[in-house]
A and B are shown apart, each in its own frame.
Chain A
Amino acid sequence: DTEVTQTPKHLVMGMTNKKSLKCEQHMGHRAMYWYKQKAKKPPELMFVYSYEKLSINESVPSRFSPECPNSSLLNLHLHALQPEDSALYLCASSQAGQGLNYGYTFGSGTRLTVV
């Protein structure tokens, strides 16, 4: 299995809703990432988990809450989002440490619309 699977593919939520994005990989990668991507822009790093522990938070607002329940799963919990949070949310994984030299594997993303 060489894939990162993200669900759902599309999500529409109101500003008062609570929802979660899910990401799963079975490649044995111990580093997992959340990125946000606006149209025709490069992905922006949000969070990094290394060995199931949060190692980087790129000053992301608290309405985004990541969780890594085990080495294969990564969640992003969403609450009280704003319309400007509408974007493509990408999950990625990689080998940790020196394995970063070999690149990341990205999922297909969740296209989020906040209304």
Chain B
Amino acid sequence: GDSVTQMEGPVTLSEEAFLTINCTYTATGYPSLFWYVQYPGEGLQLLLKATKADDKGSNKGFEATYRKETTSFHLEKGSVQVSDSAVYFCALSVPPGGKLIFGQGTELSVKP
């Protein structure tokens, strides 16, 4: 079945460090890929998305590239801030009408 695997957390970084959160997927069809972010005490926000191979999603300094050959969608940011501390979820959906399938989430803590 379809699934998403994320690197385990928590990840602790110093402010201005480079961030990578790994995400790989297994899908029977041709999925759309997403990163969601959940700040403490809040719901999920769509951070970025990619709907086809080699697409790059970007938002708020975060980027992820849809790599079909490696079935990956790693999240990167060049310089993290304390305000980026949150839980990050990688997710996929397989059209048409596919459910949103989440990875286990990676908690990021950025220290000043």
Contact = CB atoms under 8 A, between A and B. Distances in A.
Interface in A92-115: 92, 96-98, 100-109
Most chain B C-beta atoms within 10 Å of own C-beta, residue among A40, A92, A105: A40
A43 B46 contact: no
A42 interface: yes
A106 B99 contact: no
A108 B43 contact: yes
Given A106-B43, A109-B42, A101 B104 contact: no
Given A42-B89, A90-B43, A109-B42, A104 B96 contact: no
B102 interface: yes
Contacts of B95: 98, 100-101
B43 A100 contact: no
Contacts of A96: 97
Contact of A105 (B46, B97, B99, B102): B46
Given A42-B89, A101-B32, A106 B45 contact: yes
Nearest to A45: B99
Interface residues of B, number: 24
A56 interface: yes
Contacts of B27: none
A81 interface: no
B65 interface: no
Interface in A67-90: 88, 90
A48 interface: yes
B87 interface: yes
A41 B104 contact: yes
B107 A90 contact: no
B82 interface: no
Given A43-B44, A106-B45, A109-B42, A100 B102 contact: no
Given A98-B96, A100-B98, A106-B36, 14 more contacts: A4-B43, A40-B87, A42-B89, A42-B104, A50-B97, A90-B44, A98-B95, A101-B51, A101-B95, A102-B51, A104-B100, A105-B46, A106-B45, A108-B42
5 contacts: A42-B89, A45-B99, A100-B95, A101-B32, A106-B43
